[in-house]
Amino acid sequence: MKEILAVNRVLASGRLLRYARGERSYTARFETAMARKFGVDHVLTVNSGTNALITALAAAGIGPGDEVLVPAYTWVATALAPLAVGAVPVLVDIDESLTIDPADIERRITPHTKAIIPVHMLNLVADMDAILDIAQRHGLKVIEDACQCVGGIYKGRRVGAIGDLGALSFNHYKNMTSGEGGAVLCNDERLFVRARMYHDPGSFIRDHARFNEPLFAAMNFRVSEITGTLLHSQLSRLDSLMARLKARRTLLAKAFSNLPDCHISPHNDPENALGLTVVFNDERAAELLGQTRGVQRLIETNRHVFTNWEAVLCKRSFDERMNPHRWAHRDISYDPADYQTTLDVLSRTCVISLRPDLPLFVLRRWAKSLRRKATRTLAYLSPQAAE
């Protein structure tokens, strides 16, 4: 209801451009409020999470010939974003936390590596301490993809606000939604100026301070005031949503406690865990349990597994003269044989929905039913596994 009333006010005003009301616009107020809540100096609202990643990379100066490390399990936009600025994605294995493996990051770094994009998948946070340490030792930028974990916390800090830049998504499936939308977060003044300049081809006519940053050609990733209004209306509810997710995760995690041949995926900040995934010793158990409503085996999600990213694997561009792989210093391979660790983890892991559609008393009953199903599945497979 709050969103409806606010949007109606904007529509009635006829001022749908985000700059029409200056700092009094809902979009500007949202950016200020989010910066305060997330503990960053700057927030820039853009029209998608994908374009938030592209804007962040452009702001960081990533371009042709550069290599960007991305996890082999994420939404394809994480890997497409480097291509949009002329760089090439280099895939990195995940570990059982379902986030980028710091040990494999070290193995994939070359003299041409310029940035790491850790992804906080399924409301599960990456090991940012280890990632920041690696980045500092190798002189790399860290651009957090927090699109699937808006509002999540890692050791007292909001994800997306920990690296050099962060990207958030507000599309239909995210913790906050305006249908489509995104945001870039950072503390560095120059990076923010570059991001703001890149997202708006009309930035040269805005009343923005440039801090001696030379003007460059830009894209149009602006949002309308309607998007800003929806986000401003929802921001105050973000913490209550996080609390509900945390409580539901705690309840459902009990369904898998002390079961043989499986364990809850390790979490890089257990006290703030929001998402729930379970790793089985036998991929057949994950396959069988994945047929249960509210449970999905991750290897079967397809679109998040790198082997299905045709737009990345084909190494083609709309025009071959603009193909970043022509500018790369070496041939980049996306051979599945090089990423068996990722495929193995995904084949043995199921994500457990927190079922926001169910009242808590129904969720408790479902959790008991889920435990019975998991127990029967593991018992059924146990004799076969022993043979």
Q: What is the DSSP string of 277-326?
A: EEEESSHHHHHHHTTSTTEEEGGGG-TTBGGG-HHHHT---SSGGG-HHH
Residue/partner pairs of 313-317 with CB below 8 Å, 24 or more apart: 317/83
Amino acid at 197: M
Fold of domain 2-238: Aspartate Aminotransferase; domain 2 (3.40.640)
Amino acid at 82: P
Query: Is the CATH number 3.90.1150.10 carried by domain 239-303+340-382?
Result: yes
Question: Could you read off the pLDDT tens digit of each residue along the chain, which spans 387 residues?
Answer: 788 888 888 888 888 888 877 778 999 999 999 999 999 999 999 999 999 999 999 999 999 999 999 999 999 999 999 999 999 999 999 999 999 999 999 999 999 999 999 999 999 999 999 999 999 999 999 999 999 999 999 999 999 999 999 999 999 999 999 999 999 999 999 999 999 999 999 988 888 877 788 999 999 999 999 999 999 999 999 999 999 999 999 999 999 999 999 999 999 999 999 999 999 999 999 999 999 999 999 999 889 999 999 999 999 999 999 999 999 999 999 999 999 999 999 999 999 999 988 999 999 999 999 999 999 999 888 754 434
- The dihedral through the CA atoms of 215, 219, 225, 231 has a sign that is negative
The pTM score is 0.95
Nearest residue to 30 via CA among 6, 64, 50, 63: 6
Every domain range in the chain assigned CATH 3.40.640.10: 2-238
Query: 207 exposed, middle or buried (CB, 10 Å; 0-12, 13-18, 19+)?
Result: exposed
Tokens representing 199? 């997202």
As a whole number of Å, the CA-based R_g of the chain is: 22
Every domain range in the chain assigned CATH 3.90.1150.10: 239-303+340-382
Angle between the N-to-C axes of helices 26-38 and 225-235, in degrees from 0 to 180, rounded to the nearest 10: 40
Nearest residue to 42 via CA among 160, 154, 152: 160
Amino acid at 45: T
- Please answer whether residues 129 and 156 qualify as being in contact, where contact means their C-beta atoms are separated by less than 8 angstroms: no
Amino acid at 190: R
Nearest residue to 119 via CA among 84, 77, 88, 182: 77
Total residues belonging to the chain: 387
235: left (phi over 0), alpha (psi -120 to 50) or beta: alpha
Is beta strand 182-186 parallel, antiparallel or unpaired with respect to 113-116? unpaired
Cα 310-49-133 angle, rounded to 5 deg: 90
Q: What is the pLDDT of residue 311?
A: 95
